[in-house]
């Protein structure tokens, strides 16, 4: 395996709506580059990046996967991501490792919901983007229509850099609008093309598109603009770097054409990635913190820097153990190095580092700044951790995940499986950070929570396939949360100094509400050593653990900030445990004054029913505390869009069936958390209180 330097690496994420052909396209590109010896197919379960049993079975990508192609002296690392809404947290997590994105668009459907959402992710992570209009071989495909839709959605910086030659069944190649050459693909699916003259019948359109591209490249680049005004065009030797720069600056979003299944457009796409997309070094530097919660620092993406790696994905394999996928953010990672985990304080040995091709790994001696790889059997490190040279600490920011939107009670089918269940689930939580496992505060059942019913079903099915544990999935539950509406200040003091070894911990905290979705923030505002540094994490831990257990009805408290600003300690009697207890006491006291309330998930619901039922359905939604947001007719049916609390939707499937004689359908996805209205909240709190004794028991 060759060693690549950062400037010859391209880290490219494929993102976009579900079913646009991302996974198929990766397999086609790998085959074209000679990395695999057959053209893997999603439909046969032989693609390179949908290798997990669950993905093969369902024919959709569930988690992000890694693959690479060596092409023209460069190495392209592909991150194939899911496009289905309930798995999008995986997609966002993988983008941290990417330096550019291919936004894959369906040539028939054009811009879809997840096209816009994943575009938003790319925007958030500052990634240059290429739009790939894919599946041009399909009936009713139209490159031009897709481009119009893309420009409508993302603006006039969306500009074709290629045109398809033929469409639908006659799709046979692409025109490179930079070099003005045609690439005609072999019909055998090799992905290789013949470089030829543009056919006469396509020349007019190609010339117009070329001119439009040249003009867009020149715009915003003074030197090229001058040249363009002087000569009416830009010479090729300036056009290539000009386009490359415009892409890197996110000033232009080129559109190119492909079809992964018949493997048309692969060679030109591989060339495009190497020629026009930035290398990880082009970023210049990455931003992190000098320690968890510390001050911001920058680190150059360069081999000469101390080594640092960021873990962006973890796989829990029942046989191989834990496999960690990482990006080398700076320096050179050598096999057998021992690195410090800057979030956990532990050290880890990187034995057998390797590059990843779907499910296979090839060992390498070293990986340079910007490259992606994997390592097995790290002891503690998990997704979101930074490790590196202990003399140069840095912590890269973690990806913030949404809260899970739905919970189900589960029960092992055989009694003996109860212990196995919790071990297996904890392995799965390492792999999927959105999945949650808890006990219902009221019924004491095991709860598993995720982004949607299918997300939870996939988890249950993984339990069976991978860990051989069968569980029954019971009725869905609402994953309520608790939060605060007011600021509060409180002291928490834990003191036992009578006889024997004493205990002493004392802290003062301020508590403040944060916006929805912000989670928890801890601010250390201690000056002058009122609490010694080494006890401060214990205070935080006491608060975090108390918040997990809830205050009103046993649901986790979220969206608040705690500022630790004062306290006191005792030379002999202070300990971590004493400060942890002090933290938890302060939290409970502050909660009493902070106007606590319950939060519930609100769902975006889209219902399609025959016209004559629309009135009834809307009335029914009002009864469910729903807010109708729109209604549109669509060939004899009506589509109703509404936001409805999840608590009111638990039995909707069967209710809709009976209201519409089985002719209505609906989809639902998580939107946000909102405050539960007072009378309803009172009932939930009362029910939790009624189950009170059991709760105490668990706490002791
Ligand atoms: N005709 C045609 N079908 C394609 C093409 N590419 C993919 N498909 C089919 O489209 C379906 C979806 O392809 P995938 O590659 O799984 O799509 P994806 O974007 O990875 O989907 P998610 O992982 O769910 O986001 C499969 O049935 C493919 O065989 C293509 O170029 N032409
Ligand atoms: Mg896929």
Residue 293 domain flag:
yes
Residue 59 domain flag:
yes
* 138 shares a domain with 69: yes
- The contacts of residue 665 (CB under 8 Å, 6+ apart) are 607, 608, 609, 656
Q: How far is the CA of 110 from the centre of ligand 1 (A)?
A: 14
User: Which helix or strand (DSSP H or E) is residue 15 part of?
Assistant: strand 9-16
* 611 shares a domain with 583: no
Q: How far is the CA of 191 from the centre of ligand 1 (A)?
A: 17
Q: Which CATH number fits the domain that encloses residue 543?
A: 3.30.230.10
Q: How far is the CA of 18 from the centre of ligand 1 (A)?
A: 8
Q: How far is the CA of 373 from the centre of ligand 1 (A)?
A: 26
* 462 shares a domain with 383: no
Q: Whose CA is nearest to atom 4 of ligand 1?
A: 261
Q: What is the DSSP letter of 280?
A: G
Domain end: 282, 314, 331, which one?
282
Q: How far apart are CA 636 and CA 428, in angstroms?
A: 45
Is the CB of 264 within 6 Å of ligand 1? no
* 154 shares a domain with 13: yes
Q: Which CATH number fits the domain that encloses residue 213?
A: 3.40.50.300
* 298 shares a domain with 269: no
Residue 140 domain flag:
yes
Is the CB of 258 within 6 Å of ligand 1? no
* 151 shares a domain with 80: yes
Is the CB of 118 within 6 Å of ligand 1? no
Q: How far apart are CA 553 and CA 687, in angstroms?
A: 8
- Provide the pLDDT for residue 692: 65
Full-prediction pTM beyond 0.75? Answer: yes
Q: Which CATH number fits the domain that encloses residue 361?
A: 2.40.30.10
Query: How many CB atoms lie under 10 A from the CB of residue 332?
Result: 20
Residue 398 domain flag:
no
Q: How far is the CA of 60 from the centre of ligand 1 (A)?
A: 9
* 148 shares a domain with 127: yes
- Ligand 1 atom nearest to 24, measured from its CA: 15
* 590 shares a domain with 536: yes
Proportion of the chain in helix, strand, coil states, percent, rounded to 5: 35, 35, 35
Is the CB of 134 within 6 Å of ligand 1? yes
Is the CB of 83 within 6 Å of ligand 1? yes
Q: How far apart are CA 304 and CA 369, in angstroms?
A: 9
Starting from the CA of residue 139, give the closest ligand: 1
Which of 14, 15, 20, 24 gets mutated to test ligand 1 (max ligand atoms within 8 A of its CB)?
24
Query: How big is the CA angle at 250 (ends 247 and 253), to the nearest 5 degrees?
Result: 60
* 611 shares a domain with 580: no
Is the CB of 265 within 6 Å of ligand 1? no
- The contacts of residue 126 (CB under 8 Å, 6+ apart) are 250
Domain end: 474, 505, 520, which one?
474
Q: Which CATH number fits the domain that encloses residue 641?
A: 3.30.70.240
Is the CB of 237 within 6 Å of ligand 1? no
Q: What are phi and psi of 305, to 5 degrees?
A: -80, 160
- The contacts of residue 644 (CB under 8 Å, 6+ apart) are 602, 603, 605, 621, 624, 625, 626, 627
* 311 shares a domain with 300: yes
- The contacts of residue 339 (CB under 8 Å, 6+ apart) are 307, 309, 347, 348, 350, 387, 388, 389, 390
* 410 shares a domain with 302: no
Query: How many CB atoms lie under 10 A from the CB of residue 606?
Result: 16
Residue range of the domain that includes 153: 9-282
* 634 shares a domain with 577: no
Is the CB of 259 within 6 Å of ligand 1? yes
Residue 698 domain flag:
no
Residue 393 domain flag:
no
Starting from the CA of residue 42, give the closest ligand: 1
Is the CB of 260 within 6 Å of ligand 1? yes
Is the CB of 138 within 6 Å of ligand 1? yes
Residues paired with 616 in a beta bridge = none
- Given a contact cutoff of 8 angstroms between Cβ atoms, the answer to whether 74 and 54 are in contact is no
Residue 686 domain flag:
no
Q: How far apart are CA 321 and CA 327, in angstroms?
A: 20
Domain count across the chain:
5
Q: If the chain, 700 residues long, is cut into consecutive pieces of 10 residues, what is the mean pLDDT of each piece?
A: 95 97 98 97 97 93 97 97 92 96 97 92 97 98 97 97 97 97 96 97 97 93 87 88 96 98 98 98 94 88 98 87 96 98 94 96 97 96 96 93 84 84 88 87 80 88 90 86 97 87 94 94 91 94 95 94 96 94 97 97 91 92 94 86 93 86 83 94 90 45
Residue 395 domain flag:
no
Is the CB of 85 within 6 Å of ligand 1? no
Which of 21, 83, 257 gets mutated to test ligand 1 (max ligand atoms within 8 A of its CB)?
21
Q: How far apart are CA 290 and CA 292, in angstroms?
A: 7
Is the CB of 442 within 6 Å of ligand 1? no
Domain end: 388, 418, 440, which one?
388
């Amino acid at each position: 395996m060759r060693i690549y330097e950062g400037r010859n690496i391209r880290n490219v994420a494929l993102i976009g709506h579900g079913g646009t052909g991302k996974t198929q396209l990766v397999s086609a590109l790998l085959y074209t580059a000679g990395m695999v010896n057959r053209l893997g197919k999603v439909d046969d379960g032989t693609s390179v990046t949908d290798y997990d049993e669950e993905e093969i079975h369902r024919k959709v990508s569930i988690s992000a996967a890694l693959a690479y192609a060596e092409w023209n002296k460069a190495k392209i690392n592909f991150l194939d991501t899911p496009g289905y809404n309930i798995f999008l947290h995986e997609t966002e997590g993988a983008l941290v490792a990417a330096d550019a994105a291919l936004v894959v668009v369906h040539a028939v459907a054009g811009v879809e919901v997840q096209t816009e959402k994943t575009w938003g992710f790319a925007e958030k992570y500052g990634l240059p983007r290429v739009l790939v209009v894919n599946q041009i071989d399909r009936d009713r495909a139209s490159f031009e229509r897709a481009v119009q839709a893309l420009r409508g959605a993302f603006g006039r910086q969306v500009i074709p850099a290629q045109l398809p030659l033929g469409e639908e069944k006659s799709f046979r190649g692409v025109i490179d609008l930079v070099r003005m050459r045609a690439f005609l693909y072999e019909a055998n699916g090799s992905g290789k093309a013949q470089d030829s003259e543009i056919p006469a019948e396509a020349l007019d359109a190609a010339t117009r598109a070329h001119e439009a591209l040249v003009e867009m490249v020149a715009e915003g680049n003074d030197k090229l603009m001058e040249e363009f005004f002087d000569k009416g065009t830009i010479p090729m030797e300036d056009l290539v770097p000009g386009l490359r720069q415009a892409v890197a600056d996110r000033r232009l979003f080129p559109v190119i054409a492909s079809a992964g299944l018949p493997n048309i457009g692969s060679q030109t796409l591989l060339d495009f990635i190497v020629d026009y997309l930035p290398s990880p070094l082009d970023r210049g530097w990455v931003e992190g913190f000098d320690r968890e919660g510390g001050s911001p620092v920058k680190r150059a993406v360069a081999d000469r820097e101390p080594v640092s790696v960021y873990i962006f994905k973890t796989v829990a394999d029942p046989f191989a153990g834990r496999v960690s996928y990482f990006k080398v953010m700076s320096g050179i990672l050598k096999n057998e190095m021992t690195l410090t985990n800057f979030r956990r304080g532990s050290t880890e040995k990187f034995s057998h580092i390797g590059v990843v091709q779907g499910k296979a790994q090839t060992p390498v001696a070293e990986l340079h700044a910007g490259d992606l790889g994997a390592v097995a059997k790290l002891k503690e490190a998990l997704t979101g951790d930074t490790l590196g040279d202990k003399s140069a600490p840095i912590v890269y920011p973690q990806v913030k995940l949404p809260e899970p939107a739905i919970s189900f009670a589960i029960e092992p089918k055989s009694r003996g499986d109860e212990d196995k269940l919790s071990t297996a689930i904890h392995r799965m939580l390492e792999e999927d950070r959105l999945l949650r496992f808890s006990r219902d505060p009221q019924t004491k059942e095991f709860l598993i929570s995720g982004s949607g019913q299918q997300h939870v079903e996939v988890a249950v099915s993984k339990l069976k396939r991978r860990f051989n544990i069968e569980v029954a999935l019971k009725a869905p539950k609402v994953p309520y949360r608790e939060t605060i509406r007011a600021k509060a200040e409180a002291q928490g003091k834990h003191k036992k100094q009578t006889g024997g070894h004493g205990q002493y911990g004392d802290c003062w905290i301020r508590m403040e509400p944060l916006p929805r979705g912000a989670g928890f923030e801890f601010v250390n505002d201690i000056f002058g050593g009122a609490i010694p540094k080494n006890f401060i994490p214990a205070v935080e831990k006491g608060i975090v653990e108390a918040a997990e257990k809830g205050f009103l009805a046993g649901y986790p408290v979220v969206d608040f900030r705690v500022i630790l600003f004062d306290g006191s300690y005792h030379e002999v009697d202070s300990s971590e445990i004493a400060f942890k207890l002090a933290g938890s006491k302060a939290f409970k006291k502050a909660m009493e004054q902070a106007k606590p309330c319950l939060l519930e998930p609100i769902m975006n619901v889209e219902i399609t029913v025959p016209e004559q039922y629309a009135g009834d359905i809307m009335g029914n939604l009002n009864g469910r505390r729903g807010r109708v947001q729109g209604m549109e007719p669509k060939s004899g049916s009506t589509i109703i869009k509404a936001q409805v609390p999840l608590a009111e939707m638990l039995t909707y499937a069967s209710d809709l069936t009976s209201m519409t004689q089985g002719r209505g359908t609906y989809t639902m996805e998580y939107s946000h958390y909102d405050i539960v209205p007072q009378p309803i909240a009172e009932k939930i709190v009362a029910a939790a209180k009624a189950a009170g004794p059991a709760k105490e028991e668990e706490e002791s």
